[in-house]
Amino acid sequence: MAENHMAENSTTAGADSTVIVARHPVAALPGDVHVAEVTLNRPDKLNAWTGEMRARLVAALQEIGRDETCRAVVLTGAGRAFCAGQDLAETAAIDPDDHAAAEAWIDDFGLLFRTVRALDKPVIAAVNGVAAGSGFQFALLADLRIGHAGVRMGQPEVLSGIPSITGIWAMSGILGRAKTAEFALTGRLVEGPEAQRLGLLSRLVDADQVKAEALAEAARLAELPPGALALTKGRLRELDDAGLDDAIAAAKKVHIAAYATGEPQREMARFLAGRRR
């Protein structure tokens, strides 16, 4: 399907990295106009990310944002997952008394979220598998989300003793208060058909067509007037910028309080030991 809109994949950069960026020239447009494909590449961990991985992702997205020849972005994951969220082995080690570490962790996500939202070109998430926790929130930052029936999406932080604060902000505009409360408090994941019904996915396709359809949609959007798209995205961003600022500030206070109790660390240790709830 993508062949009608773009040439074959261009050179992939950083193939040994946890974040891979590929350029796909848009065949219908002259010059170096392309779609950027950004792949989370830690498939053995379901693309669960660490702080270092997110820093690489932010750097890649900032470079894409500065590239005027890039007209659209596709976000996806390697292997059978989109992103399982935070690597709990990293956060389980946070000292309950280290408030600065808890704040820095939230600021880290704030920078990632703002970097995605700052892109003035269309962003499409090719949700190829599980999108959970902060990985689920990352998918919701995209303008469009394409997945398949076997996708599982949700906000399971509470199961690991982690309050879902930025998750509430990310979900509320799509789900409304009642469903947001259900997702945040129960930690349950939904599969593709329900995710589409709720608006978490824009479109369902066959599992082997998710990335191809996302790239084809990105190429279609790349052919539209970029100024109009950028201005439209700017207005959409203005509608809930204040909400994100408030969510980041609240998350710092709540996470400091949570980590000070030691509950998240205990629950994450339980999870890592294989004693899942």
- Tell me which residue of 96, 95, 92, 88 sits closest to 261, measured CA to CA: 96
Instruction: Mark whether 157 is an active-site residue.
Output: yes
CB contact burial 208-226 (16+ within 10 A = b; e otherwise): eebbbbbbbbbbbbbeeeb
Order of strands across the sheet that contains 203-204 = 12-13, 19-25, 34-40, 70-77, 123-127, 144-147, 203-204
User: Which of 200, 152, 201 minimizes the C-alpha distance to 180?
Assistant: 200
User: Of residues 157, 213, 217, 267, which has the active-site annotation?
Assistant: 157
Q: Please answer whether residues 133 and 145 qualify as being in contact, where contact means their C-beta atoms are separated by less than 8 angstroms.
A: no
Give the angle subtended at the CA of 137 by the CAs of 131 and 139, to the nearest 5°.
Answer: 60
What positions carry a catalytic annotation?
157
